[in-house]
Structure 1
Amino acid sequence: MSKPEAQDQPIPADPVEEIVSAIPFVLPLAGGVLIFLLAFIAVTMA
């Protein structure tokens, strides 16, 4: 039977996993900026 070759290549980094790890910081910041912009627009129109 054939002997399987050992692979020495490292597992490539998944770009999605790098983005997912930043989501807990990005979402609250984006939400805060969005709330500030909406409040600024509301005050400007009033």
Structure 2
Amino acid sequence: MAGDGKIKMRADAWFTSQNLEAVLASFLRGEPLPERVRWRDISEVLGQA
């Protein structure tokens, strides 16, 4: 899969600076993501459904 496509984001698909900091810290520590962070299934958008 090439990374040159565009994905249309919904209005609620963004991080606050506090959430971004928590996500990056969790990632760097090898810990699970904070519970307030949820990933949306975008298989349909990518044509992989």
Give the TM-score range, shorter chain: 0.3 to 0.5
TM-score computed with the length of structure 1 as normaliser: 0.33
Structure with max Cα Rg:
1
**Highest RCO, 1 vs 2 (Cα 8 Å, sep ≥ 6):** 2
TM-score (norm 2): 0.31
Structure having the higher helix fraction is 1
